[in-house]
Amino acid sequence: MMNSVVRYIVLGAVLFAACGGDDDDDASKGTMTSPQAKADEKICIKETCKLPPELKGEELCCMDPFTGGCGIKVTDMCRAYPKVDTRCPPPEINVPTPAGIMPRVFGCCTDDNQCGIDFGMGGCRPRTFACMFVPKAQVDMLKPQTCDGEAVPLPENCGSNMVFMLPGVAGSGS
């Protein structure tokens, strides 16, 4: 019995040691340090990621540590490159979430020619999609329009009456 316990401990130590050490490779992020890599490039597994010009200033990251995939860092997550359209800048809205995280939005153009927002949850959505999240006092800031610049009316029920309270704030129940 004692002999099998010792075997499991030794096997566990060997497996732990085989997971790698502290070297130039950052396997946890799927990246490798390379003397050829430039500041606007990142190597993700076998792919060299380059930041598109429309995303200048964003931080490159690898989507998956094992399969690679190029992305940009948003908060502490890596997301796919958004499809940015300069004709549709993102609306300047302040949408509080229960977790206190402010989602990063990018301006884009939907398949049906509406200016939209891309906040990493399934591609480009029309600006009116945000009606359920934006407080009623901010609905005018959505400024729905076509990608060609023609105004689109706001839905009548646009705007939320919900108030998100951050944990630890008076009245939030914590």
Greater confidence (121 vs 100) lies with: 121
The pLDDT confidence band at residue 64, using thresholds 50, 70 and 90, is very high
Q: Of 8-17, 72-81, 124-133, 147-156, where does mean pLDDT reach its minimum?
A: 8-17
**Average pLDDT of the segment spanning 53-75:** 90
pTM for this predicted structure: 0.62
How many helices and strands, by DSSP H and E, does the chain display?
1, 10
CA dihedral of residues 28, 33, 36, 39 (deg, nearest 10): 80
- pLDDT digit string (tens) for 11-28? 343 333 334 344 444 444
Structure tokens given for 119: 């906040």
**What's the mean per-residue pLDDT of the chain?**
74
Q: Which residue type, as a one-letter code, is found at position 139?
A: V
Residue 173's pLDDT is 45
Q: At 42, which helix (H) or strand (E)?
A: strand 41-44
- pLDDT digit string (tens) for 157-166? 898 776 544 4
Please give the radius of gyration of the chain, using alpha carbons only, rounded to the nearest integer: 23
- pLDDT digit string (tens) for 40-59? 789 999 899 999 888 888 89
- pLDDT digit string (tens) for 72-93? 998 788 999 998 999 999 888 7
Per-residue buried b or exposed e for 72-96, using 16+ beta carbons within 10 Å of the residue's own CB? bebeeebbebbbbbeebebbebebe
The pLDDT confidence band at residue 146, using thresholds 50, 70 and 90, is very high
